[in-house]
Chain A
Amino acid sequence: MSETAMSYVALVLGWAIPWLLGFAILLALDWPRPDPGASLERGGHAALRLGYGYFVGVLLLTLWMRILSVFGARFDWLTIGAPLLIVASACLGIAARRRAVSFVATRDAVTALWRPQLPRWQRIAWLLLLAWLGLRFALLAAEVAWQPLYPWDAWVQWATKARVWYELGHIVPFVRADAWLAGAAGAYFDASPNYPATVPLQQVWSSVALGHWDDSAMNWPWFLTLIALSLAIYGALRDAGVPSLGALIGTWLVSSLPLVDVHVALAGYADLMMGAVYTLAALALYRWTLHRDRCDAGIALLLALACPSIKIPGIVWALTLVPGVVVALLPNRGLKLVALGFGVAALALLALGKAETVILGYRLKLAFEPSWRSLAESYFFFANWHLLWYGAIALTLLGTRRLTKPPLAPLTMIVAAGVVFLFVVFAFTNASAWVGDYTTVNRATLHLAPLLVCLGVLLWNEMTTVTHTSVPAHATALAGTPVAADA
């Protein structure tokens, strides 16, 4: 076997370990637990576990690498890969004792994903769509394999850290220019020294697994992120009662968004992972609102807490989940409370804007200066989002009533908070200039777009699903919350 082939085998093994770790942990936790009233849907649950497993594994991998650095241990296969593999094996052992792992279960799950029980026309559509997605993923994989690190910020503020940490074998601090010029000992400098470590640590692990620096091959996590996001979205939609073909269509809608694909092909930015983790946090939270399973809440919390470790605005994205929690916990008064919260936030914005306060690098200002033309071009005229925003507007108009009622109300409030966040950034901060020159508007929107697609598919499903009783299936879970909880 050639040296290149060996390197790639090592890279595949390297990324299989964190993925297996996350998958095994979820298996050991018996997550996702099937809805007691629903039939067991193996394909959807397997996809959900696989998709979420990747992100749980990656976050634990980067957490472990941080811990290693704190204790001065050097990054290598033994210090990173071996412990993760041991934990993954232990979790698989726990799952095996519960008989959660079996050949039959695996075979059924693969069959359900590959050849679900569908009428003939749907099976044809299913296979055609899978082939279309397969071609898309193959094209993106080719770009990841051959394209050297390309986009600007990737090599002025993300991979800079990866290169240094990989070559030195541990994390070293990056500091601002003035501190560096003043002679900060052992400190490095790049364009954004305060940016978090999660993304570059993935590139470091790729390089450790490969055994050498290669700024194309280190970007495979971006491709894996899209695959895992697709699996998780398919699983989440199936889990929420969307039919197999509908869930696959929802998955296609997300993975076909050109800006999502660009962020895989031209890997190196943190926005795709930010969007993926945020989407999965919101969907786990949504699952919690339906089932009140602690594991759902735990996963939602883990992913929400991870948001600020991916990008600095991740802290705001994590906070946008709060309205969803409020509406879920207080089904009767939640919407009013959230509306009140938005009002208070608007007042706070006025006060902070008057003082031109800088928050997370954005300078707030009272001047209302949205760049409507650029925004319209970005959302409606250019190819960034296909027909996402047209569809979102149409569905909002057609489904307003369902959006504000269980089971979708919590997810609606999350998306609404996200849209408000984007609007405030684009209209009331110095970022409005970056809308005008198209540099930030779409990347910021990328954080919300996958979730918006999911909400659209779930809304459509709610609007078109015929139920045999007047109460929607999931509403019972929400409505089951004691009214006293409002008190």
Chain B
Amino acid sequence: MTPVESPALAAAPGTHGRSTIVGVLIFVAAAAACLIGYLALTARGPWFGGPPALHWAAADFKVTRGTGRLGPGGLLVTPDASGTVVVSLNASFRSRDYPVIAWDAANVPEGVEVGLLWNTDYKSSSMFSRPLAIEAGQVAPADLADVRDWIGTVGGLALVTRGALAEPLLLRGVTARPMTPGEILSDRLAEWFAFEPWNGASINTVTGGANYQDLPLPVILATIVLVAALIYAALARWVPGAVGAFRPAVVAAVFLAAWFVLDARWQWNLVRQVGATYAQYAGKSWRERHLAAEDGPLFAFIEKARAKLPPPVEPAARVFMVADANYFRDRGAYHLYPYNVYFDPWRNTMPPSSALHSGDYLVAYRRAGLQYDPTQERLRWEGAEPIAAELLLVDAGAALFRIR
């Protein structure tokens, strides 16, 4: 008994050439069919021509409720006392030409009420509204084509949010979209090939381009593979003269081609990421790399603190690390090893004062509620008796104490 190589991977040269051509043609045909089908379902504007998209930048916005500050990344808005934000802008466009309004907003937590307001010349005395969905911390585009009050010439738009925001709302702009097929295709390509740099969540999940995507690339590619397989099976069944008998190798090739498209996107993202990493860290020692990292100021402070601490030989000194933010607390502790470090990895707590002994050290980094009396040389924090401590080092928002 002799196994013969898989036909997917080893075939007679003549049949293989034909299979490849058939596979490529069917893949292209299926891709075209799927994309045209998608555009037919989603496009609202004309297939040819149509008005251009209208865009307003953050500088065009007026903060009606809340407090706004224009920065390089956009408009940062904090709510007023009632937890409300209203940001508006003047506009003038025909509503029927622009069925979708897309706000480019970030830092929008789930649970916050978000709405779109607008007025038109049709009922100039009225203000219309529509709730907006939140997707991955961003405001999802609003499709207004079937909304009764989206009529006439739009004279103004506004975004309103109600609820607690963990950090200021970031508004980068708003776009009125004509939803022509060309624009939709361009949007999808932009989403799929958006650079996804490393972030805190990268180790857990890779989004694959923009954070919010109307049509994820794996979904459309899987659909293309399925459609291609069906087309090929049908042709092999009813028009064998055109494509030959059914060969699983062709379906496998289509599947691998789709996988390769995804992998090419991923490789391109990696190339851009390596460029960013190179610019930030290449040619530096490990210390210099840490100084250039996101927590560079923290690392610099811990380096100063280490210079004040005794050498970390066994038994290493015990060092307590406290900070309001989880990130600084945990990261500060990491930089302090191999000292015998204690920190609360999950909650912003202070250690019980009974656990602090003479000869221990305490590093505080951006920790509110910690008070030091230099005359008495006493350190105190909420809910604890003052303890004797010596201030060894102080920096902007950071300090090192030795417990007495």
Which A residues fall within an 8 A CB radius of B? 119-122, 132, 135-136, 139-140, 142-143, 146-156, 159-160, 163-164, 166-168, 177, 180-181, 186, 188-191, 213-217, 241-243, 245-246, 249, 253, 256, 258-259, 261-263, 265-266, 269, 378, 380-384, 386-387, 390-391, 438-443, 460-461, 463-469, 471, 473
Q: Does B270 contact A (CB under 8 A)?
A: yes
Query: Which of B7, B202, B267 is in CB contact (< 8 Å) with A466?
Result: B7
Q: Are B259 and A442 interface neighbours, CB within 8 A?
A: no
Q: Does B1 contact A (CB under 8 A)?
A: yes
Interface pairs (18), CB distance under 8 Å: A136-B267, A142-B274, A155-B334, A156-B330, A156-B333, A164-B337, A181-B342, A186-B314, A189-B341, A215-B286, A243-B5, A266-B202, A378-B205, A382-B216, A386-B262, A387-B218, A391-B255, A464-B6
Given A156-B330, A387-B258, A461-B6, answer yes or no on A262-B338 (Cβ-Cβ < 8 Å). no
Q: Are B6 and A465 interface neighbours, CB within 8 A?
A: yes
Min CB–CB distance B268 → chain A (angstroms): 10
Given A146-B277, A261-B266, A387-B255, answer yes or no on A180-B342 (Cβ-Cβ < 8 Å). yes
Q: Are B205 and A438 interface neighbours, CB within 8 A?
A: yes
Given A143-B273, A177-B342, A216-B289, answer yes or no on A386-B3 (Cβ-Cβ < 8 Å). no
Which B residues fall within an 8 A CB radius of A? 1-10, 13, 16-17, 20, 198, 200-209, 213, 216-219, 221-222, 225, 248-249, 252, 255-256, 258-259, 262-263, 265-267, 270-271, 273-274, 277-278, 280-282, 286, 289-290, 293, 312, 314-316, 330-331, 333-334, 337-338, 340-346, 351-352, 355
Q: What residues of B have a CB within 8 angstroms of the CB of A159 in the complex?
A: 334
Give the complex CA separation of A473 and B5 in angstroms: 13
Q: What residues of B have a CB within 8 angstroms of the CB of A154 in the complex?
A: 203
Query: Which of A259, A439, A440, A466 is in CB contact (< 8 Å) with B206?
Result: A259
Q: What residues of A have a CB within 8 angstroms of the CB of B4 in the complex?
A: 465-468
Min CB–CB distance B208 → chain A (angstroms): 3
Q: What residues of A have a CB within 8 angstroms of the CB of B2 in the complex?
A: 467-468
Residue of A nearest to B12 (CB): A119
Give the complex CA separation of A246 and B11 in angstroms: 12
Q: What residues of A have a CB within 8 angstroms of the CB of B341 in the complex?
A: 160, 188-190
Q: Are A146 and B282 interface neighbours, CB within 8 A?
A: yes
Q: Are B286 and A383 interface neighbours, CB within 8 A?
A: no
Query: Which of A149, A163, A440 is in CB contact (< 8 Å) with B204?
Result: A440
Given A139-B270, A380-B218, list of 4 further CB < 8 A pairs?
Answer: A155-B331, A167-B338, A249-B256, A464-B252
Q: What residues of A have a CB within 8 angstroms of the CB of B337 in the complex?
A: 160, 163-164, 167
Give the complex CA separation of A151 and B7 in angstroms: 43
**Chain A CB within 10 A, most for which of B9, B271, B277, B289:** B9
Min CB–CB distance A467 → chain B (angstroms): 6
Q: What residues of B have a CB within 8 angstroms of the CB of A190 in the complex?
A: 333, 341, 345
